[in-house]
Amino acid sequence: MQQLSIDDIEDIARGAGILGTGGGGDPYIGKMLLAEEYRRGSVATLMDPDELADDALVVASAFMGAPSVVMERIPSGDEAVEALRVLERRLGRPVTAVVPMECGGLNSMIPLLVAAKTGIPIVDADGMGRAFPELQMETFGVYGVSGSPIAICDDRGHSVIVDTGSDNVSMERHARGVTIRMGGVAYIAEYPMSGADLKRTAIPRTLTLAQSIGKAVATAKSMNRSPLEAVTDCCANSIYGHARLLLEGKVVDVARATSGGFVSGTAEVRAFDDSRSVTLTFQNEHLIAREGDRVLAIVPDLVSVLDIETGLAINTESLRFGQRVHVVGISTPPIMRTPEALQVFGPAAFGLTEPWTPLEDIGVAAGALP
């Protein structure tokens, strides 16, 4: 167990933005709420998965819906705690630890806020290893944990509990409908599971990985290396195993539409010398990077767009013409690449016809990459 400082949290936010592969929301509001909570003397405690008892009760914590709405309806921070309490009452026992649903800006901050506000530890792990747009796309569910019952709360003190048994797709469908009627954003507690199940199904130690990445990016300049190098080094030395630059260039086109509660679209990044062009397709998060017909990286592997100067991630809502960026591919840990996992969040789950190919197996054309 380890108490996280507010600097640790800044690092986690920075790193989780990169692992969030364009989604998970802007962490800004979350960091502000955490800073306020820390000023009141609260502290979030990080717990390694190995420290969890097998019979512990762990619950995934997150916001759900449109990140843009969060900026218009700033939460008090109590909504996500209330979701946890509603689920505890349903289950009839107290939660031992919370775990992030996903890696991603705001959704790394929300469970930290819950941990700081309640004193309940947060497990150093998550259920997506990146960000994904839907609740059934969690490794917890892939490996047999039911998302139900899920508690959904809003900022008016209203709560909903959805229980669809082991049918996590229906759980997502109902929770999405409730979130839309709650005004486009809600706070959830889901996938109640044992400590043993958490250890079996979660992507381990992604909070400390985010922290390392965030810290390396922030200190790169003072260490005389590029932020890009800091990111690829950190990823290569983790269970993710491999990261590479896909293109250095400028955002020259963004087409984005909001429908069904998602932000979907494409973005084109062109090399500064116009020699190459990469198109990114996203549904909240980046799904695929293509150069012409050639796939450079495909879901569940990560595609992140980083500001060239700062190394900070630019999420899909914030992409705009003229940004100077590094498009980076990051491979995923083996637990996210099994046939069961690919069935739930592989290319076909997003309507992509390209076959799944691990990033590190995609040939790099000679001279194509710097």
Length of the chain: 370
Question: Cα separation of 342 and 202, whole Å?
Answer: 15
Question: Cα separation of 173 and 175, whole Å?
Answer: 6
Question: Cα separation of 271 and 326, whole Å?
Answer: 10
**Secondary structure of residue 113 in the 3-state scheme:** helix
Question: Among residues 6, 91, 180, 312, which is the contact residue for a second copy, using CB under 8 A?
Answer: 180
Count, residues near a second copy per rule CB under 8 A: 21
Task: Please tell me whether residue 163 binds a second copy under the rule CB under 8 A.
Answer: yes
Of 161 and 271, the one with the shorter C-beta distance to a second copy is 161
Smallest distance, a second copy to C-beta of residue 75, A: 18
Question: Among residues 42, 170, 226, 338, which is the contact residue for a second copy, using CB under 8 A?
Answer: 170
Q: By the 8 A CB rule, do 92 and 18 touch?
A: no
Task: Please tell me whether residue 73 binds a second copy under the rule CB under 8 A.
Answer: no
> Using a CB cutoff of 8 Å and minimum separation of 24, what contacts does 144-147 make?
144/197, 144/201, 145/191, 145/193, 145/197, 145/201, 146/171, 146/191, 147/171, 147/172, 147/190, 147/191
Smallest distance, a second copy to C-beta of residue 135, A: 14
Question: Among residues 181, 225, 294, 324, which is the contact residue for a second copy, using CB under 8 A?
Answer: 181
Residues 117-156 that bind a second copy (CB under 8 A): 156
Sketch the per residue contact string, 75 through 114, with a second copy: x for CB under 8 A, - otherwise.
Answer: -----------x---x------------------------
Q: By the 8 A CB rule, do 54 and 195 touch?
A: yes
Question: Among residues 48, 71, 158, 333, which is the contact residue for a second copy, using CB under 8 A?
Answer: 158
* Residue numbers at the binding site for a second copy (CB under 8 A): 86, 90, 156-165, 167, 170, 173-174, 177-178, 180-182
